[in-house]
Amino acid sequence: MDKQENKKPRVVIIGGGFGGVQLAKKLKNAPIEVLLLDKHNYHTFQPLLYQVATGAIEADSIGFPIRRIFGRQKNFTFHLANVDNIDTVNSVVETTAGNYNYDYLVIATGANTNFFGNQELEHYTMPMKNIAEALNIRSLILQNLEKALVTADKAERDALLTFVIVGGGPTGVELAGAISELREYVLCKDYPALCNADMKVYLVEGKDELLAAMSTPASVKAKEFLQKMDVTIYNGVHVSSYNGSILKIDNGTIINTKNVLWAAGVKGEVPTGMPEQTVAKGGRLITDEINRVKGYNNVFAIGDVSAVQSEANPGGFPGVAQVALQQGRHLAKNLQAIISGKATTPFVYHDLGTMATIGRNKAVADIKKFKFQGFFAWLLWMFVHLLSLAGFSNKAIVFLNWAINYLTRNSDNRLIIRYFKTDTMTVDTIPH
Amino acid sequence: MDKQENKKPRVVIIGGGFGGVQLAKKLKNAPIEVLLLDKHNYHTFQPLLYQVATGAIEADSIGFPIRRIFGRQKNFTFHLANVDNIDTVNSVVETTAGNYNYDYLVIATGANTNFFGNQELEHYTMPMKNIAEALNIRSLILQNLEKALVTADKAERDALLTFVIVGGGPTGVELAGAISELREYVLCKDYPALCNADMKVYLVEGKDELLAAMSTPASVKAKEFLQKMDVTIYNGVHVSSYNGSILKIDNGTIINTKNVLWAAGVKGEVPTGMPEQTVAKGGRLITDEINRVKGYNNVFAIGDVSAVQSEANPGGFPGVAQVALQQGRHLAKNLQAIISGKATTPFVYHDLGTMATIGRNKAVADIKKFKFQGFFAWLLWMFVHLLSLAGFSNKAIVFLNWAINYLTRNSDNRLIIRYFKTDTMTVDTIPH
């Protein structure tokens, strides 16, 4: 057990995502010792993972070292650690880097891909919730294009050139758009021998519309954009199986494909040790309106791993960056109130709007009462995402990549730096 | 066997390094079918690998997709392939992507790390000849700094904070300088708890001076620079063993360290199938003065994998990018001469000079008669390397990174995106 160097209360935050980082920042001047734990040494800007997966930007541009964010914050410590268990009886977090006692614990572990218990899908489809997984997708796409070039068997080549994205939320829509643009702008340039081959892009969504969390105009327009870009869309159907070659949909459709990207669901990343009765549907921790986990006085949960259950918001909040950011910021105030014996205030979500980008000059936006689609939404999407990236150099480098990609309709980032072994669905451990 | 689509002679080039790419480019307007094979889909700018390894720049900045280089070249084809064997009797290259017949074969496979048959060193020390290996070193350095933070045992912590670079050529000198600058500028900022810890950097070189291939003023000044930066230098000694914890030097010195970087030698990457009598010392293919491999009429070797043996140059040429570039360019002329029945001309090396950078404002340069060291050499080093990078965006992004690093004395690129397992010395296959 580590020693606590002073008598200030210690807040241990698990997870350096949007919520955890925001909370730690806002505790800067509080008489509190802040310890942030994460299994990565960097914060990931998840909204742009799909651009890493499709080679538009570099992986390093959407990661920012956590130590760099907090360089000057005196009450802050970061440890790189995997959390093994939470012992709420003794108020201890057990990790690969050692055990840490806490006065207050904040679980900000986010969400991971949900395969809904289907192990075959978990094994054969490609999730995209972190940088490593995005790079795996980038490698898979590029490796399969290369393979298609030297495959004589037409059925095999067609399967290598068929891309199925499962899930019609923002991630699925953005991936389908980006892969369709690879076909439109890059295929003939970089793979002239595949120019006349029949590369196919499918998007499969269980609900009757795409972007179901957005307005009807956004959903309708997104579908229209994608259809114009020759993406085949299946709405109101589900994938029933995929064995690495044959994808079956429950409307009877069978697709031969070597590329299935899974963006059909998420579940909270609840650490081991949290009792079952604290976990709601979707693997989220049930919290009250100040983000305190059900049944605990000193354990909190924010962001994607939390499900706020309050009378004011019976449906909870969406799993988006804005909720995590605002909950982190609000919990910083409430923690200071609790420590100084003052009254806490319930969390209120301010919906700043939702956007999704489909392609070049094409995005959809719902900003409060304003619903708009097309070029202006696309400009706004870029502007907001650029400004949200951590660090000046990341902003500058992503901007530069976007400008070059826009002008050349191509990118220099399509490198296979992680060789993906499609037989075992793992990464090569040999330097390649 | 693939079909040849026309009657033009086919040149198969193995390797997309400096030599292979240059040769393929210069054959652009020749009545020749050019097929380039590489196990990567990108060209690597090896001179900056050490900056990726130490987190100064992004990996993607020093890789450039080969397909992008040759986008508009009509007589050019690229296939991603590992070469399994060369069958010189039937003029066939056997690869993982299929078999290719050739009229002329050019082996431009470069060099790889030479452990001189010591399997222990090969297992436990970190080589740096490609992007994956550079990222492994980046991960190892950062993981061991993180581990040092939470290690209570002082001896263990000291070993985690001890860095030994073996080899005092340009790579070793540049690595030693960059790691020493990490200690100088980054340790206290990013790892305040390690600020007073005793991080050590050693450089071990078998010859009596560093940068033995350069002038005496360069060698002397490089040593002086490194010593001022508190790098402990051992000259004229050799590493006798390293078991993952204890490094033994043949002068009796024993160093406890968890970080040994191996830059002590290279050997040619001769493909399987080339007979033993064509291979010289250092695993290089013996060629004549037009880079034709000994005993063959239609097999050539250029760059690091070749050893030119001619009366004019009995010592051969150094293993540097300039030699590969010039040999590639010259062979393009000779191949066209051979095909059109004209006379070939012997290769003549034009030494444009040698440079090595040690750190901020510190480099050494030998440019023909001019030997200079310090700030101006450093500026020139940066200028030459920037201009040599492939692609506008790589140039711009590396420049931006350098400018930010220079101003802030820190970098945003220190992400552990490949988790390096120190127990097995392999990369984690699980997305991390």
B-proximal residues of A, 32-91, CB under 8 Å: 39-42, 58-61, 63-65, 67-68, 71, 77, 79-81
Determine whether the interchain pair A404/B414 forms a contact, defined as Cβ–Cβ distance below 8 Å: no
pLDDT tens column, A78-122: 999 999 999 999 999 999 999 999 999 999 999 999 999 999 999
Name the minimum distance, in Å, from the CA of A135 to any CA of chain B. 9
Q: Which of A122, A135, A429 to mutate to test the interface with B (most CBs of B within 10 A)?
A: A429
Q: Give the torsion sign (CA, A190, A194, A198, A202).
A: negative
Instruction: Report the residue count for chain B.
Output: 432
Question: Looking up tokens 């590969």, which residue turns up?
Answer: B324
Among B364, B376, B381, residue whose Cα is nearest residue B215: B364
Contact B357, B351 (CB under 8 A): no
Residue B29: partners with Cβ closer than 8 Å, 6 or more residues away: none
Name the minimum distance, in Å, from the CA of A314 to any CA of chain B. 35
Q: How confident is the model at residue A410 (pLDDT cuts 50, 70, 90)?
A: confident
ipTM of the modeled complex: 0.93
Residue B191: partners with Cβ closer than 8 Å, 6 or more residues away: A67, B145, B148, B149
Which H helix or E strand runs over B127? none
A152 vs B310 pLDDT, higher one: A152
A-proximal residues of B, 381-420, CB under 8 Å: 391-394, 396-397, 400-401, 404, 410, 412-418
Contact B431, B417 (CB under 8 A): no
Instruction: State CA B148 to chain mean position distance.
Output: 29
Phi, psi for A232 (deg, rounded to 5) = -85, 120
- CB nearest A427 (choices: B58, B63, B429): B429
Q: Is B10 helix (H, G, I), strand (E, B) or coil?
A: strand
Ordered by where they begin, the domains of chain B are 10-39+81-113+267-339 (3.50.50.60), 119-264+360-427 (3.50.50.100)
pLDDT of res. B410: 87
Q: Is A103's Cβ below 8 Å from some Cβ in B?
A: no
pLDDT of res. B422: 85
The residues with which A373 forms a beta bridge, in sequence order, are A364
Q: Is A191's Cβ below 8 Å from some Cβ in B?
A: yes
Instruction: Fill in the amino acid letter for B392.
Output: F
Poorest-confidence range of A37-46, A124-133, A398-407? A398-407
Name the minimum distance, in Å, from the CA of B172 to any CA of chain A. 20
Q: Looking at residues A261-286, what average pLDDT do you find? A: 95
What is the rounded CA–CA span in Å between residue B106 and residue A137?
33
CB count in 10 Å sphere of residue A389:
20
pLDDT of res. A314: 75
- In chain A, the percentage of residues whose pLDDT exceeds 70 is 98
Name the minimum distance, in Å, from the CA of B285 to any CA of chain A. 23
Q: Which of B44, B57, B67, B182 to mutate to test the interface with A (most CBs of A within 10 A)?
A: B67
The angle subtended at Cα A39 by Cα A38 and Cα A41, nearest 5°, is: 75
pLDDT of res. B263: 97
DSSP calls for B40-76: SSEEE-GGGHHHHHTTSS-GGGGEEEHHHHTTT-TTE
Q: Which residue of A has its CA nearest to B392?
A: A404
Instruction: Fill in the amino acid letter for B288.
Output: D
pLDDT tens column, A297-350: 999 999 999 999 877 777 789 999 999 999 999 999 999 999 999 999 999 999
pLDDT of res. A429: 79
Among A121, A96, A148, A91, residue whose Cα is nearest residue A204: A121
Strands (E), B16-146: 33-38, 42-44, 63-65, 76-80, 83-87, 92-95, 98-101, 104-107, 111-113
Q: Is B244's Cβ below 8 Å from some Cβ in A?
A: no
What is the rounded CA–CA span in Å between residue B34 and residue B41?
16
Question: Per residue in B20-49, is it b (16+ CB within 10 Å) or e — as a string?
Answer: bbbbbbbbeebebbbbbbbbbbbbbbbbbb
Q: How confident is the model at residue A418 (pLDDT cuts 50, 70, 90)?
A: confident
Q: How confident is the model at residue A187 (pLDDT cuts 50, 70, 90)?
A: very high
Q: Which of B413, B421, B422, B424 to mutate to test the interface with A (most CBs of A within 10 A)?
A: B413
pLDDT of res. B1: 47
Residue A432 has pLDDT above 80, yes or no: no
Among A49, A135, A134, A60, residue whose Cα is nearest residue A418: A135
Tens digit of each residue's pLDDT, chain B (432 residues): 455 555 899 999 999 999 999 999 999 999 999 999 999 999 999 999 999 999 999 999 999 999 999 988 999 999 999 999 999 999 999 999 999 999 999 999 999 999 999 999 999 999 999 999 999 999 999 999 999 999 999 999 999 999 999 999 999 999 999 999 999 999 999 999 999 888 999 999 999 999 999 999 999 999 999 999 999 999 999 999 999 999 999 999 999 999 999 999 999 999 999 999 999 988 999 999 999 999 999 999 999 999 998 777 777 899 999 999 999 999 999 999 999 999 999 999 999 999 999 999 999 999 999 999 999 999 999 999 999 988 888 899 999 999 989 998 888 899 998 888 888 888 887 776
